[in-house]
Amino acid sequence: MVFPIGVRIDPEARPGRRDGRSLWQDSRARFMHNRAAVASASVLLLVCLYSIVGPVSSEWSTEAIDWQVIGDVKQHGRPSLGSGHFFGTDELGRDLFVRTAMGTRVSLMVGIFGALVAMVVGTLYGAVSGYVGGVVDSIMMRIVDMLMAIPFMFVLILLLMVFGRSVTLLFIGIGLVSWLDMARIVRGQTLSIKQMEFVEHAVATGVSTAMIVWRHIIPNILGVVVVYATLLVPNMILYESFISFLGLGVQEPNASLGSLINSGASRMQYGTLWQIGFPLFFFVAVLLGFFFVGDGMRDALDPREGNG
């Protein structure tokens, strides 16, 4: 058998790069060559479009009840182009096309805002910890270690319970419990950038610490941070859906993909499978989309890594 070593190119034999493209152009070209990533990005765009335009284009609103179907949802509430319920209705006669669009929008928003919160908090924390170094660094990282050992889903549910269930708290809560990995990654990057000449030059010319972190450190780790944040989005959506599935997140009549999947799952035995099918389809599409785009971005920025 052929021995299964990956494509190990003799570094000496690698052909030289012929044109003088910049790092970013190079990365973009590599990303565009990654068919899975480009396809996923397109799918994500379409899903976003649906989640925004969908509700406007339909004659139904998210809360309107179609009294005509309410008696026999299994017969009259099934997906059809004729009735205007493209995805069918739920057991209360509400149109699933617009409700799925709303659920997708809520899930995407929680995912993106959650990732943004995690990104901002994690970057600042990690950059300060890595740049200041010494005792401050070890205390700050010890705190991260401590926080990492806490089962966060439980704490988040505790928070939601105490302060009431609201989407805002969900945004912030999910973001706040997810910044820890980001802080670690950023700290590592900061430590290596700190060694570089331009930072030493800034120090030597008397630039203040805050200014160095803001002007030199953060711009240089932005690439890694953005890639990691993209990979965080699907995790955020998973958290949110988990909590909403339990009925502890988004409240009726609002919906997210998680709560739609939950109500669909609870109606499965009545044969209205479209109730779980459509939300599940968008859930899977969004998650896979973000996973592939994130992977593609990581490979594009750092071609050495991520052959898995």
Residue numbers at the binding site for another protein (CB under 8 A)? 1-10, 12-16, 142, 145-146, 149-155, 157-163, 234, 238, 241-242, 245-248, 258, 261-262, 264-265, 268-269, 273, 276, 280, 283-284, 287-288, 291, 306-308
96 close to 87: Cβ distance less than 8 angstroms? yes
Nearest approach in angstroms of CB 195 to another protein is 21
Nearest CB to another protein, comparing residues 50 and 152: 152
Nearest CB to another protein, comparing residues 14 and 206: 14
Report the amino acid identity of residue 72.
D
Residue 252 is encoded by which pair of tokens? Answer: 């009726």
Nearest CB to another protein, comparing residues 144 and 212: 144
Nearest approach in angstroms of CB 292 to another protein is 8
Nearest approach in angstroms of CB 87 to another protein is 17
Nearest CB to another protein, comparing residues 120 and 238: 238
30 close to 304: Cβ distance less than 8 angstroms? no
Residue 299 is encoded by which pair of tokens? Answer: 């490979």
* Sequential DSSP letters for 130-152: HHH-HHHHHHHHHHHHHHHTS-H
Q: What phi, psi does 140 have (nearest 5°)?
A: -60, -40
Nearest approach in angstroms of CB 74 to another protein is 14
Nearest CB to another protein, comparing residues 71 and 271: 271
Q: Which residues pair with 65 in a beta bridge?
A: 94
Nearest approach in angstroms of CB 222 to another protein is 25
Q: How far apart are CA 78 and CA 213, in angstroms?
A: 57
Q: How far apart are CA 154 and CA 139, in angstroms?
A: 25
Nearest approach in angstroms of CB 168 to another protein is 15
167 close to 254: Cβ distance less than 8 angstroms? yes
Nearest CB to another protein, comparing residues 160 and 217: 160
